[in-house]
A and B are shown apart, each in its own frame.
Chain A
Amino acid sequence: MGQYRQPIISTCHFVSYQVEILDWKTKKQLCFLDKVEPNATIREIRLMFHKLYPRWYPARQSIKLDPKGKSLRDEEILQHLPVGTTATLYFKDLGPQIGWTTVFLIEYTGPLFIYFLFYFRMPFVYGLDERFTSSPHPVVNLACICHSFHYIKRLIETVFVHRFSHGTMPLRNIVKNCLYYWGFAAWLAYYINHPLYTPPSYGKKQINSAVIMFLLCEAGNFSIHVALSDLRRNGSKIRKIPYPTKNPFTWLFFFVSCPNYTYEVGTWISFTIMTQCVPVGLFTLLCFIQMTIWAKDKHCTYLREFKDYPSLRMPIIPFLL
């Protein structure tokens, strides 16, 4: 804390602020910070609070102006907030946090391995008579390759490509997300690798076109992730408008704000066509709904932050949605 105090002593014309932090629910005073520099950021206040309460590390803290309002961002500066020289802030514990990289690694490793349990027909999955047998349909092997490829690609991207703008998510959410991803992976894998699986109605033609579409969408998705990551190359956290680059896959940026989601939905649609399996279709539908919500969110943020945002762009589907 000493490093913040220093300038106040040397420059006496500064009015120092007093900050009290109350519990958002009980309104009990948790701490009182005397002599806080006016241009202290919320990040610095979080650190001071953390010193007093070691178990509430900064990412766990939600600091608000109003007990039921929005959390203040790290970069916000005390003197720019609508407070007097004695600021009252409210603290809410967000619960244990976990880094995004870890979250993604756990979420994506699950489906990868769960799928194999069904592909190799582990004992008790389809009954003991069927254990370790393999399907006579080549599309089942192809589907396994595509599914594994999809999740391995995601894992590689998580480690080498993605740059996360903000650090963590609540531990509670990871349980929910894992149930969703792992549960669906098991459900899909059960039907695709079932001994009574029926291959697609239009045979090779259907499978081949689905594989081509699948590969194109994966390439597109990867290109967008690289393009987004390049926007933050020098570790900057400033939001920028992503524009199409030389890579033709990124040209979808002309029409939508989140082409990575468009491509992702495309991969799942092609996987549905390839396997001709209703549960895969249901999963695709749920993914589409979820990603549309995220895309609309991000689209709105872009519109709010940039006045010159390209007006042709839609959130996820060109010209439509």
Chain B
Amino acid sequence: MAASGSGGSRADNGYGSQQPRRRKGPGALATAYLVIYNVVMTAGWLVIAVGLVRAYLAKGSYHSLYYSIEKPLKFFQTGALLEILHCAFGIVPSSVVLTAFQVMSRVFLTWAVTHSVKEVQTEDSVLLFVVAWTITEIIRYSFYTFSLLNHLPYLIKWARYTLFIVLYPMGVSGELLTIYAALPFVRQSGLYSISLPNKYNFSFDYYTFLILVMISYIPIFPQLYFHMLHQRRKVLSHTEEHKKSE
């Protein structure tokens, strides 16, 4: 249970690779809705990207850029929760559990760490994962959009299955450093912690929970990373052969 909040940066997991085959599944209405959803999400993450660049140019420094994009980041990252529903209703053929796990880990980091522990918001590690997420999400959502429209440019496909090599470790380091930076403040304030005695006979130590979350990255990160590398080999080599034969 402790591990449920972890999983780290969803640089990408390859579950969207089934997207083009989705055609037979949902009807026209669902497809239309998915296109709109993915376009909106792409736009949203583009807003965040532009916000970051503008704030950087205005300030001339990359410190504390978080405040300039706080609202859209929270909004669009929370909007990713809909992806769980898409899987649950079967209009996207991915595993509900896996998707929920990945989305929740990000939402957890956005709200339960960065939003809740004000002191970490000025850390550079926040910027590290925000940049990694932003680039990943722009590519991922546009990948879905183009796939749904059946016109997937090779560049987007290539980017989706290549950039994670750098972005994924980058996001994970940002996330881990941010949680680590939050630890002393959580311990000091007793944030989200419940202690005995209480009539529900239950206690919860958020500090310990965060440590467990960090530990859970150790088995999960390499697994996802190698899964993605494998996926990359499968998807990209396949298309190259396909192109040659054409």
Contact = CB atoms under 8 A, between A and B. Distances in A.
Interface of A: 191-192, 194, 196-198, 201, 275-279
A194 B196 contact: yes
Contacts of B197: 196-198
A197 B201 contact: yes
B200 A277 contact: yes
Nearest to B198: A198
Nearest to B201: A277
B202 interface: yes
Contacts of B202: 191, 277-279
Nearest to B194: A278
A115 to B, nearest CB: 15
Nearest to A278: B202
Interface of B: 196-203
A278 B202 CA distance: 6
Contacts of A192: 201
A197 B199 CA distance: 8
A233 B140 CA distance: 60
B200 to A, nearest CB: 5
A183 B202 CA distance: 16
B201 A191 contact: yes
A276 B196 CA distance: 14
A62 B208 CA distance: 44
Contacts of B200: 276-278
A197 B200 CA distance: 9
Contacts of B201: 191-192, 194, 197-198, 275-279
27 contacts: A191-B196, A191-B201, A191-B202, A191-B203, A192-B201, A194-B201, A196-B196, A196-B197, A197-B196, A197-B197, A197-B201, A198-B196, A198-B197, A198-B198, A198-B199, A198-B201, A201-B199, A276-B199, A276-B200, A276-B201, A277-B200, A277-B201, A277-B202, A278-B200, A278-B201, A279-B201, A279-B202
